[in-house]
Amino acid sequence: MTATTAKPISMVRVALTSLAASSIEWYDFFIYGTAAALVFPKLFFAAGLPPAVAQLASFSTFAVGFVARPVGGIVFGHFGDRVGRKRALVTAMLLMGLATTAVGLLPSYARIGVAAPVILIALRFLQGLAVGGQWGGAALLAIENAPAHRKGFFGSFAQMGVPAGVVLANLIFLVMGSTVAPESFVAWAWRVPFLLSMLLIGLAIYVQLKLEDTAEFKALQAAAERQAKTVKRAASPILQAIAQHPKEILLAAGSFVAANGTFYIMITYAVAYATKTVHVERPTILWAVMLGALITAPLLPLTAALSDRFGRRGVFMTGAVFALLWSWPFFMLLNTGAFPLMLLALVGGLGFNNVMYGLQAAMMTEMFSTEFRYSGASLGYQLGAIFGGGFAPIIATALFEKYQSSMAISAYMAGLCAVSLLSVFVLTETHKKEHRAAPAKVAA
């Protein structure tokens, strides 16, 4: 099909689909974190465990999802670079919808014993595989269809799925917690948010039927078909990315540890900390998290658009510096137990986090050529997720148990920000980079 007869791309529809896909996918991922903080320690582990041990065990299952994310990035990255962004995204969405629904149907430890946490871990691993593949698909769906001068802005729609997922996850728990008795919430109502993830399956079907693959991937496929008789098939996309861009993968991972690690401390660990240590009512901290995410969400497209004009590195490093400085006021404000000050803590923390995160999709994907972009960007992103968010709630819990002070956690958050600041300082600016596929290998 020639350029003159090709069906025009609706960037509004593409951007909104990317937002919807990432919102529901992250909703599924986040409700697990909220449940891990509030109900899983009682439901899926042996009775009689000390509360701190049960909480650590629960957060450990939460971390399993992050361990699985790079595996998902590799598997879906290969799939997405070989057969298309859309197919990979649809498969990841179906996997997430099915795994999350299964968590909502899982019997407790009291009913099936040790099989309960074992199955829970397996389902969390599948969630991690799915989100490891989803991010690259949702981001590339928007970025590879976007005009060259607006890739940061349209890429931020995939990133906006994160605060949308936080709001949805906390809102559904607030609704269930306020409409049923506490014993009913623990007995069955917590399952409802997980069962609602079946909506993701319907969205996956819509994407499959209504959207085409990205313009850049279709151009790559067309070029490959024209050269099929004179070139041999290139190596696996993930192997190409690792061989040609190991530095970029590591720096991409380093750039992500701050945004990811501090984020999960603020939306997951802070819920457990506020209820158990500061003795705040559960709805109070959930409202603070939800409103903090909602208030700061507009910073994602705003700062991403600024990065289109002024460059990715400068905007990102500004956010990293302020996030580092906010690490200490965050817990000072949270420790007051006063709702306005706790909300301020989260608005500041999530706001500076969003300055980094909004442009991250464009920055990471611009590091890699089209033919292995899904693989390279996903691997860097998901490696950063392991070392950033995956162990952050566990490390924060352990630090508080050891030092009995939130200042130790603040120092940990500041350290994550310093790693990302240095990583992006070392990176080459990408926002005006011309994107071309690497030359094909000629057969001997």
Please give the mean pLDDT across all residues of the chain: 83
Q: Which of 181-190, 256-265, 426-435 has the lowest mean pLDDT?
A: 426-435
Contact 269, 392 (CB under 8 A): yes
Structure letter (DSSP) for residue 186: I
Choose from 68-82, 125-139, 239-253, 294-308 the range with maximum mean pLDDT: 294-308
* Averaged pLDDT, 415-440: 75
Q: How confident is the model at residue 437 (pLDDT cuts 50, 70, 90)?
A: very low
What are the start-end ranges of the H helices in 265-311? 270-276, 282-296, 299-310
- The C-alpha atoms of residue 395 and residue 410 are separated, in whole angstroms, by 12
Give the phi and the psi of residue 114 in degrees, each rounded to 5: -65, -20
Per the listing, tokens 């997430």 go with 96
Contact 350, 294 (CB under 8 A): no
Closest CA to 207 of 153, 156, 137: 137
* Averaged pLDDT, 131-142: 82
Q: Which helix (H) or strand (E) holds 244?
A: helix 237-244
Per the listing, tokens 């926002």 go with 431
* Averaged pLDDT, 113-117: 88
Give the phi and the psi of residue 90 in degrees, each rounded to 5: -60, -45
pLDDT of amino acid 110: 85
pLDDT of amino acid 59: 80
What angle, 0 to 180 degrees and rounded to 10, lies between the N-to-C axes of helices 373-385 and 237-244? 70
* Averaged pLDDT, 77-87: 81
Per the listing, tokens 């607006």 go with 150
- The C-alpha atoms of residue 96 and residue 406 are separated, in whole angstroms, by 34
Is residue 213's pLDDT more than 80? no
CATH class, domain 11-206+237-426, is mainly alpha
- The C-alpha atoms of residue 199 and residue 179 are separated, in whole angstroms, by 22
- The C-alpha atoms of residue 409 and residue 251 are separated, in whole angstroms, by 24
Cut 0.85: pTM above it? no
Q: How does pLDDT run across 23-47, given as a tens digit for each residue? A: 877 788 778 877 887 788 888 887 7
